[in-house]
Structure formats: structure tokens, C-alpha cells
Amino acid sequence: TSSKPGSGLDLSKEEIKKSFLEKLFYGLGRIPTVATDNDYYSALALAVRDWVFRQYVRSLEEYAEQDSRGVAYLSAEYLPGPHLGNNLLNLSITKTTREALADLDLDLDKILEQEVEPGLGNGGLGRLASCYLDSMATLGVPSIGYGIRYEFGIFNQTLKDGWQAEVTDKWLHYGNPWEVVRPEIAFEVKFGGYTEHKYDSNNKLQVNWIPDSEIRGTAYDTPILGYRSNGIIMRLWSAEAIESFDFAAYNMGDYYRAVEKKMRSENITKVLYPNDENLSGKELRLKQQYFFVSCSLQDIIRLHLLQGRELENFHEKFNIQLNDTHPSIAVAELMRILVDIHQMEWDEAWHVTRHTFAYTNHTLLPEALEKWSVNLLGRLLPRHLEIIYEINSRFLNELRKQNFSTEQISRMSLIDDRGEPSIRMAHLATVGSHKVNGVSALHSRLLKSMVLQDFAELWPEKFTNVTNGVAHRRFLALSNPGLADLITRKIGKEWLTDLSALRNLEKFADDKSFQEEWRNIKFKNKERLTALIEERTGVKLDPSMLFDIHVKRIHEYKRQHLKVLHILSLYLRLKNGKGKDISPTSFIFGGKAAPGYFMAKRIIKLITAVADLINNDPEVNKKLKVVFLPNFSVKLAQQVYPAADLSEQISMAGKEASGTGNMKFSLNGALTIGTLDGANVEIREEVGEKNFFLFGLTTEEVQETKKAGYHPYRIYEQNNDLREVMDFLISGKLSKGDKELFRPIYDNLLQQDPYLLLKDYQSYIEAMDEVHKTWKDQNEWAKRSILNVINMGKFSSDRSISDYCEDIWKVETVKVV
């Protein structure tokens, strides 16, 4: 109809200029003579936000007309990265905007540089959630992403004397032009207190939860735009105090206590917990989880009822995807809402619940599998604990009927009562969902054979795999414009919406002039990264060197320290006059360590110590350079991946659920050195064995090694080079004579070595020698680089989201243009 808004795409230079100036004058009250760079950034962002909302509104109308089945993605973390550049790309107005600003003597790149990204996540899991919103928008999945509006996101990392130091992330300090607050979309969330069980006049049990505190969650909406198409919303909840009628009456005159209470309740969304894959068991974290889950479910139910629908068919209209177990209390919360508030019978409510949820598992690491103490959960959420007990008792009865052994039953129980009783959130999520998926083929297989084996035997059809993917528009089109242009010149724009179209480049893989263009683009990207690294660290790299890059969270299982052992082996080879085959290499590290993770922080110190030693030694620093690039983030990542020659994916097999950085590197033409872990396996399958440097034990070999009794010390004794490298750690040469500084790493590797660095050492060294040999043939390297990129089709998050739609959500997409 004519009331439908026009498209926000392909605007003219004059339209852009006009809107930009209007936002600057009337939105911000600024004129060019006093405007700061941040004013210009905010003005452009506000103008762009209008066009993004235009697309969003068009989508909403379309979804409403089609009466489509929708998806709510629940994630405690998001890492969207800077919005402005991505939105310009998706509106197809980057070039026009650049010209419009140039007319005003302004530089788009400088304005883009102003944006502070929302660091509302730790790493892979949060970034995956944002890639998925991008693809859901692009494909036209009627969807909404729910999460938490942390006031302070992941800390900013600085280096002090080579150690990580954490600085509060004040991402909202300069305001956030992308979000719109919705004060009328606000819900109350209860905590604590007790429950009352009564029979009503119909002799039906009625449970009443009398909480001891309540807080309000208010929605903040950020539009997420797909490529030349739909927009969806990321809805983040922010906590605030409620001054209830009762509260005011009881505390008449007690203003300061009221203020204190208000301060306490606003703490809930203050800060993101910076631990990934390691439990802290903190009460506030459980509060955060329940808070955002409760707000989100209330919101979804409000939308459902608003459309005049019955809760009996809730699951036919909504899919709720649980991004790991962090939102898994939702299973109990939906039961509570249906049974206690809407008076649904338990069995029917359970049917609705189980058909609503689906659960994605992201880890097999025991220390990352969420467990909440029964005691804590009962204190904070007494009604939910009762519901979990009820779910469990019915579930275990079912198992008994099916003649499961007592041992199996206790393994499968939602309650772990060995030691302090606790709730296994992965079991709650599995029992309460109709589908459970892992995030790579290998991980999904291991999930079924290890962590959730009993469940997979009980419900084989419930288990499935969706291999992760990445937003290729952000990580190629936006962040590597040189390569993107070359691709588009050769094969057109189809790849932007269908990454498998990159295969059309196959005929160029052997073409010498194409290879040369390819190499020049990589070289320019390396020059840009070199400048950035010099500015941030003072270390000047040489862009003609091999750029060998290891960026991701610092964790022992990811084995940054294996990379360090390799660097030291090269250093010692050079010092011993045996380094002639070494190709000149710059080693670049980046990643944050959880602030309480002793070993991870010491690994950072080790990297910076090795960097100091090597960069300042004229005998080796023509051939080797090492830097630790602080504060790795999405924004930095966008500059790092395009400049990589070699991607380090060297986790111990069986530990990295998928990895997504591995995909971003390959997509930008880096070759991978990696183990058969996570999605590396599938990357290698796609790009071809010859174009992937493989090393290390397989998952099965890891298991056998551990079973047979692993003695790292024996390997140390038998391998002279390795012994020399290891002893160097405690020689004092890395630490101004302090022989104790790196002893914890040394001891850990010689005594336990839980991630088998020593076992995989020789294999890694040999694979690296192969890398250095291959690098010497630049045409061959370029060819393999091209073959990596053109075979990346599978790893677009568009493919992942299509898989979710077909296999799990059963939704049809609805596209608007």
C-alpha cells in the first residue's frame, strides 16, 4: 500500500549531505566551526540509523502480512563491531557517502575511526551471535536478538611492563547513536523470597511466588541491517530500580536506604563477566542470566498475545534459540509463566516448552559447563528450583520406565549430587529443547559421544550439527575492500549474497598476473597493519616478511605458548648459526586473558618478553620480529585478518568446539597451520589438503595418549632442540636474570602438560619448516591463498542460518528489497 515507506537503499549524494547536515544542526545543535570528529560521526550515524530503521519497518510490515513463524535468539553476549561502515555497505551508499562528505571537506575514514564498538561479549560465542543477526537480517528470517545492555563491556586491555592491565570499557561515554530506548517496553523481574502452595476452589494447585525484591528491565533497540534487504532488531535489556508503592510506604523518610537499594538493583547490568570458558559461580552472573531471560520471555509472550493468539500454540509461532546454557533458565521460566501465571496444565506447558526451545552447545571443556549450586539457585529463584525438581523427577521416572540403570540415571539427572548439589544447565537445556546442536562436525560428534552421550542414545533424532559461519560481508567486503574489488571485477557481485560463487574464480588460480594482483593487495593490507602496529606498539614490522598471526582469547588449550616455543626454537637456530632456511617472519599475537587466569596472564608476559629479546637483538631482528598487539577487538580484527599470510589454529585436538577466526583468516587469503580440531577439519576438506599445513595428534590419539599415561618429561629428555628451548624459559635471559618468572609455565609443561604441547612439538616444528619452504615460492603461496578464498563458500553465516532454518527452526524466509 502507499503507506509503506520507501527504500533506504542507494541514496543520492545530495540526500546524504542534506540528512547529515540536518542531524548535525538540529539533532546535535552543532555547526561545522565548532563540531568535533565525534559530532560528525554522531551526525552521520543518526542519519544512517534513519535509513536502517526504514528497512526495518519495511521488513516488519512484510512479516506481519505473511504471519510468519519467528525466531528469538537468546544470547548473553554480542560483539557487533562498529556499525557505521557495515550499515553503509548494506545500504550500498559507501561511495556516495564518501563523496558527500568530501564535498564538505570531511574524510569518511576518519569519521569511521571514531566509532567505539560495543564490547558486549568475550570472544567467539558473542561474535557468532552478531554474525547470525547479520545473516538472519540478510536472509529475511523474522527474528529478534535478545541480550543484556552491559554498561561496561569487556575491559580494554593495555600492557604495563609487558603484563596485561585491565581498564574499564566506557563504551557509552560519548553516547550511542545506534540505540533507541523504549521506556514503554519494560518488564518487572522478581528475585528471592519464597513460594506458597494452595489449592483453589477447583482443587487445582496454585503456586504463588512472593519475592523479596523486584527490578525493572527496559528495552534498548539497535537495528541490524541485512545486505540490501531486511532489518531486524537487537533488543538489549537494561536494569533499573523500581520504587514500588509498598516500598515508599514502608520507608517513609528513609530516603538514603531507598537510594542504596536503587543502586544495588542497577548493578545487575553494570558489567560483563570477562571469563570465557571458566566458571566463576558468581551470584550476580545468575541474576544477569535470569534478568534478561525473564524480560525476553515476557516480551515474546506479549507479542504473541498482542496478535490475539493462544499460548497453546506458542511453539508454532516462536522458536527460541539458546546460545549455550547462559540463557537456559528460560526452560524453567517459560514453564512458570505457562503454569503459574496462565494456568496451563503441566503436561501441555511442557509440550509447548520443549517444542519452543533449541539449544546450541559451544564447548566440551568441563570447566565451562555451567552448574549452579542448588542452594544459590533456590535462594535467588525459589520457584524455578521447584520447577527444575519437578522436570527432573518426571524425566527420571521416564528413564526408570525405560529400564535405564541407576548409574545412567544419576549421570543424566539435572542435579549433580556428588559434592555440593548443583544443577547441570546443559542437561536442563537438553531436556527442555527439541533440538541440540554442536558448532562443527567434529564437535557435534564428540558432543554425542562424550558430554551428552546418554541423551544422544535416548533421543538420537534430537541431536544435529550446524557448523559455524562468519559474516563474510563484514569480514571480507567491508574489511578487505582491495580484495573485494578484485573479486567483484572478475566475477561480479553475486558472492555478496552467495559466498559459494567465489568458486567462479577457479580459472584464475594459476593465472600469473592475477596472482600478482592478489599479492599486491595482500602487501598493501600488510603495510596498513604495519603502520597501525608501529603506532600502537612502537615496533616496526617489515611487510615483505611472512605475517604469522595468532589472535584469539588467551587460553592454555589454544596453545599460544606452543607458538612461543616455536619462535624460541627459531631464535636459537639463528643464534647457533643454523638459521639459513628460515623465511623472515613477523609473529603477531593478540587476545585478552581473563583477569583471574594466572597462566594466561603469564603467557602474555612471556610473549612480550620474547618480543623484547628478539626485536632488540640485531643478530636476529632482520629475520624475526614479534609483537603483542593489545586490545584485540572486532574493530582491530577487521584490520588484522586481511593482512595475514599464516593463520595459527593450533589448539589441542578435541578442545576447540569450532573456531571462527580460522574462517575469517582463510576468507582473507591466509593459509592455515592447524590441528584436526573444530572447524579446521572442514576448512581443510574444503580448501584441499595440499593448501593446509596439518600437524599434531588427532582427537582419538589425544585420548589414547592420555589413557596410556602421558609423561611430558620423557619427551623433553629425548628431544634435544625442545630441551634447549624449554631450558631457555628458565635461563633468566628472557627476564633480566629472573629465573622464576616463567617457571610456572615450565613446570606445568614438564609435569602435567594437559594440552600436550610437548607431544605435538616436533610435528609442529616440521610443519612450520614446510611453511617456510613454501613461502619461498611466492607464486605457489599465492595460488594456495587463492584456493583458500575461493573454497570458503561453506563458511558464510548465511549458510549456517539456512541450516538452522531448515533443520531446527522450520521457518521460511521473507525478503524485502
Q: Which residues would be at the binding site for ligand 26Y (CB under 6 A)?
A: 122-125, 128, 275-279, 362-363, 368, 370, 439, 468, 656-660, 678
At closest approach, how far in Å is the CB of 229 from ligand 26Y?
25
At closest approach, how far in Å is the CB of 674 from ligand 26Y?
13
Residue (of 665, 70, 616, 115) closest to 316 by Cα position: 70
Residue (of 220, 212, 221, 222) closest to 189 by Cα position: 212
Q: Are 614 and 620 in contact (CB under 8 A)?
A: yes
Compute CA 112 distance to the chain's CA centroid, rounded to the nearest angstrom: 22
C-alpha cell at 419: 559434592
At closest approach, how far in Å is the CB of 745 from ligand 26Y?
22
Instruction: Give me the DSSP letters along 625-692.
Output: EEEE-SS--HHHHHHHGGG-SEEEE-PPTTS-S--SHHHHHHHTT-EEEE-S-TTHHHHHHHH-GGGE
Q: How far apart are CA 420 and CA 423, in angstroms?
A: 10
Compute CA 95 distance to the chain's CA centroid, rounded to the nearest angstrom: 30
At closest approach, how far in Å is the CB of 275 from ligand 26Y?
5
Buried b (16+ CB within 10 A) or exposed e, 549-562: bbbbbbbbebbbbb
Helix (H) or strand (E) segment spanning residue 99: helix 94-103
Burial class of residue 483, CB neighbours in 10 A (0-12, 13-18, 19+): buried
Can you name the residues that pair with 373 across neighbouring β-strands? 422
**Residue indicated by cell numbers 573485494:** 484
Burial class of residue 678, CB neighbours in 10 A (0-12, 13-18, 19+): buried
Q: Are 783 and 724 in contact (CB under 8 A)?
A: no
Cβ closest to ligand 26Y, residue 53 vs residue 78: 78
Can you name the residues that pair with 146 across neighbouring β-strands? 74, 235
Strand segments, DSSP code E, in 52-191 are 70-74, 143-148, 156-160, 163-167, 180-191
Cβ closest to ligand 26Y, residue 156 vs residue 797: 797
At closest approach, how far in Å is the CB of 413 from ligand 26Y?
20
2 phi/psi in degrees, rounded to 5:
-70, -15
C-alpha cell at 695: 600437524
Cβ closest to ligand 26Y, residue 298 vs residue 437: 437
At closest approach, how far in Å is the CB of 171 from ligand 26Y?
19
C-alpha cell at 127: 561474535
* Strands of the 371-373 sheet, one edge to the other: 371-373, 422-424, 415-416
Cβ closest to ligand 26Y, residue 258 vs residue 368: 368
Q: How far apart are CA 564 and CA 289, in angstroms?
A: 37
Cβ closest to ligand 26Y, residue 277 vs residue 340: 277
At closest approach, how far in Å is the CB of 293 from ligand 26Y?
14
Can you name the residues that pair with 686 across neighbouring β-strands? none
Cβ closest to ligand 26Y, residue 69 vs residue 553: 553
Cβ closest to ligand 26Y, residue 27 vs residue 327: 327
Question: Going by DSSP bridges, is the β-strand pair 546-551/433-438 parallel, antiparallel, or unpaired?
Answer: unpaired
At closest approach, how far in Å is the CB of 656 from ligand 26Y?
5
At closest approach, how far in Å is the CB of 117 from ligand 26Y?
17
At closest approach, how far in Å is the CB of 803 from ligand 26Y?
14
Q: How far apart are CA 784 and CA 790, in angstroms?
A: 10
At closest approach, how far in Å is the CB of 764 from ligand 26Y?
20
Can you name the residues that pair with 271 across neighbouring β-strands? 152
Cβ closest to ligand 26Y, residue 298 vs residue 467: 467
C-alpha distances in Å from residue 485, one per residue of 32, 305, 434, 492, 666: 33, 48, 43, 9, 17
Question: Going by DSSP bridges, is the β-strand pair 143-148/231-241 parallel, antiparallel, or unpaired?
Answer: parallel
Instruction: Give me the DSSP letters along 254-292.
Output: -HHHHHHHHHHHHGGGTB----SSS----HHHHHHHHHH
At closest approach, how far in Å is the CB of 278 from ligand 26Y?
5
Q: Are 69 and 316 in contact (CB under 8 A)?
A: yes
Q: How far apart are CA 586 and CA 150, in angstroms?
A: 36
Which residues are known catalytic residues? 362, 552-553, 558, 660, 664
Residue, CB closest to ligand 26Y: 124
Q: Looking only at Cα atoms, what is the longest distance across the chain? A: 92
**From its phi and psi, is residue 556 left (phi > 0), alpha (psi between -120 and 50) or beta?**
alpha
Helix and strand tally (H, E) in the chain?
A: 33, 22
Strand segments, DSSP code E, in 61-113 are 70-74
Query: How many CB atoms sit inside 10 A of residue 249's CB?
Result: 8
Cβ closest to ligand 26Y, residue 49 vs residue 799: 799
Q: Are 111 and 40 in contact (CB under 8 A)?
A: yes
